[in-house]
Structure 1
Amino acid sequence: MPFPETFLWGGATAANQFEGGWNEGGKGESVADHFTAGSRRQARRFTPQIEADRLYPSHFASDFYHRWEEDIAWLGEMGMKVFRMSVNWTRLFPSGFEQKPNPEGIRFYRQVFEALKARGIEPLVTISHYDLPYELAKNLGGWANREMITHYTRYAKTLFQEFGDLVHLWIPFNEINVLSNGYGDLISAGILPEKECDMFACDESKEGKSRRFQALHHQFLANALTVRLGHEMNPAFRFGCMIASTLTYP
């Protein structure tokens, strides 16, 4: 049975793993910017402060921020029809508390989306992909705080307003289920520990588990509100989800 003509062949990236330019163009710090590199012998670590002698992969990543034109040209040469990418929340709202977006961030993503469309590549945009603004995590406690819904939906509405003419495919949260799988406190919810720790470390106390599921509840609410808002703003928008598949051994 052949694939339908409308099937979208493509690939996927995440801004915190791909973009680089971590402190350029008015971008603020995200939680991901505080994760060090790891190795076979050393797990990736979270550090409350950026330390000059540590390696932080998100700071340079694959340097898409500076090489986006040639990268998109290669995607076109490969015949890709869809490119899943995420918008870096802190490139638009550096601390997450701002009421208006960073103009440099808007310009950057508009030129990226225009270049993709020019090559016949449909952008599929993840709104939140493990890049929570560090200031929201530090000052609010991340998604454990219901106030996060307000900041997230403002950010999502900005994306719809600014890029709705170029982007019609959206994923509100990357791997929203990681908080139910027993990890993701840091990378997904932005629930910060008081000191340096393993990137995937989580608080297994009763209180820690409660915070984790409270955070997930708030993400579910934000997801639903965002989908409803998107359909109201543009009926052509389509929304999907991205689920983490984890292999567990007994």
Structure 2
Amino acid sequence: MTTYTFPQGFLWGAAASGIQTEGTKNKIHDSIWDTWHRDNPERFFKEIGPAKVCETYDRYQEDVQLMKQVGFNSFRTSIQWSRLIKDLETGEPCQDAVAFYTAYFEEMIANGITPMVNLYHFDMPAVLQEQYGGFESKHVIGLFVKYAETAFKSFGHLIKHWITFNEPIVPVEGGYLYDFHYPCKKDGKLAVQVGFNITVAHAKAVLAFREMACEGHIGTVLNLTPSYTRDDREEDKQAAHYADLLFNRSFLDPMVLNYYPEELCQILKHHDLMPEVAAEEMAAIESAKVDFLGVNYYVPRRVKAREAEYDLSYFTPEYYFENYINPTGRFNPYRDNNEILPTAIYDIAQNIKDNYGNLPWFLAEIGIAMDEASEGEAQEDGVIDDSFRTSLMKEHLVQLHRAIDDGANCFGVHQWTFIDNWSWTNSFKRRYGFFRLDLETGQRIPKRHGQWFKSLAQSNSFTAD
């Protein structure tokens, strides 16, 4: 057995979001998820929408005690734009929301848990989507900045780790390319415009944070998915290069290096996809330096050179490659047979170290999915046995430790998620939590993995073969 010890002060905890945990009680505005579920419940697993969650709004004190129970010293969640802001045009806050978030964050801090707060987790206020097109609109960039300023002003005395966007590429992919998020459009040019506008909104929120002389640090969270090839043939390597450029570097480079890759711009020009860009927007992107990066990782991307003719009527990144299933890979039988590749963590760390200035970063999400049936019922001691999750987490943490030993500037790990939470159109199809949520009673049922995690967090180390 080998003992793996992490740097002093390492952050251990979980990640969640406001919309997936808080519930809709006393919320001022609907989000796009509220209205989409209301209009098209059949798009959601078992027709369960965001009103059926773990009710953090009412149970945050109880839940903070559960965080302590599994050893958290930190926790990432998000503020809901549709909850905090009363007047979406002026940024005037709702006082009930200010009181709730203040109490929630203070409760964490009083119990030794550092809150890390994200401003946007896919939850556009519905009226802004319907009236302006959400981030299709330049006007909504300004409204987002007003929202960010209100959040900084309201909670800056409590929050020292701010995040602008969680996985900003997902609303682009889901809402404008692949039809798994609202507004369910398929339009490559509009997708590029939305992606650019989100990057501008991020940059201007970072600059507002600086101009307000806020204490603490600000960054972003990106889902970085390394692209691996079928084999060593050159055309496959080129396919992986395009996949990385379009899926990873399209946000990583402008948000961390403060410029867009020239090759990406040439691709967009070639396909007539260039967004509307103002000089002051580019100036904002070029000057908005982040303090840290969050990285979400679940599965690798496997690609090969395109062999079949591209047959979509609009542009997607797959114009330049085909996805590929590794015939010799390991797969999670509990999550749609997604590939398990712990060494990808090491590759991500090396990329940040070698190509992005070894910026301070943390593993902002890593999740091991199981469905409720595979986790089984609670055992005699009242705890659910999810040891499959623990064994896989160890493998990933071994690779992270190896990366840190080789100079990676990683400062923490947050697992997705704390309590099994509602997850977009999948609702509760997949379970990730340290605690199971009983959908009928709201009971939080502990899992064996949480007991192991407590030992990990308290000792800052673990042992593995």
Q: Give me the TM-score of the superposition, normalised by structure 2.
A: 0.45
Q: Which deviations, in whole Å up to 9, do the C-alpha atoms of 1:200-246 show, x marking residues without a partner?
A: 78433xxx211111111111111111112112323532122222245
Task: Out of 134-143 and 97-106, give the one that drifted further.
Answer: 97-106
Q: Hey, what does 1:17 align to over in structure 2?
A: 20
Q: Which runs of 5+ in 1 are unaligned?
A: 46-53, 188-196
CA distance in 1, matches of 2:195, 2:72: 34
Q: Which has the larger radius of gyration?
A: 2
SS of 1:68's equivalent in the other structure is helix
Instruction: Report whether the alignment pairs 1:31 with 2:36.
Output: no
SS of 1:227's equivalent in the other structure is helix
Quote the offset at 1:184 in angstroms.
3.5
Contact persistence 1:94–1:133 (CA under 8 A)? no
Return the match for 2:95 from 60, 78, 103: 103
CA distance in 2, matches of 1:26, 1:166: 22
Instruction: Report whether the alignment pairs 1:3 with 2:6.
Output: yes
Return the match for 1:126 from 112, 115, 118: 118
Q: Which has the higher strand share?
A: 2
Letter in 2 for 1:160: F
CA distance in 2, matches of 1:97, 1:56: 31
Q: 1:135 to 1:58 in 2, by over 3 A?
A: same
Q: 1:66 to 1:203 in 2, by over 3 A?
A: same
Letter in 2 for 1:185: Y
Q: Hey, what does 1:77 align to over in structure 2?
A: 69
Correspondence list, 1:131-210, <5 A: 131-178=123-170, 182-185=173-176, 199=181, 202-204=184-186, 208-210=187-189
Correspondence list, 1:44-123, <5 A: 44=44, 55-94=47-86, 96-123=88-115
| Displaced runs of 4 or more, over 6 A | none
Q: Hey, what does 1:237 align to over in structure 2?
A: 216
Q: 1:237 to 1:30 in 2, by over 3 A?
A: same
CA distance in 2, matches of 1:115, 1:26: 21
Q: Hey, what does 1:224 align to over in structure 2?
A: 203
CA distance in 2, matches of 1:75, 1:36: 30
Q: Which runs of 5+ in 2 are unaligned?
A: 226-300, 303-322, 325-465
Q: Which deviations, in whole Å up to 9, do the C-alpha atoms of 1:48-101 show, x marking residues without a partner?
A: xxxxxx944211311111111100111022220110000011111256335411
Percent identical across equivalent pairs? 29
Quote the offset at 1:6 in angstroms.
1.3
Q: What count of residue pairs does the alignment treat as equivalent?
A: 223
CA distance in 1, matches of 2:181, 2:199: 23
Q: Which deviations, in whole Å up to 9, do the C-alpha atoms of 1:96-143 show, x marking residues without a partner?
A: 335411110100000001001001111111101011100000000110
Q: 1:95 to 1:31 in 2, by over 3 A?
A: farther
Q: Hey, what does 1:192 align to over in structure 2?
A: none
Q: 1:66 to 1:85 in 2, by over 3 A?
A: same
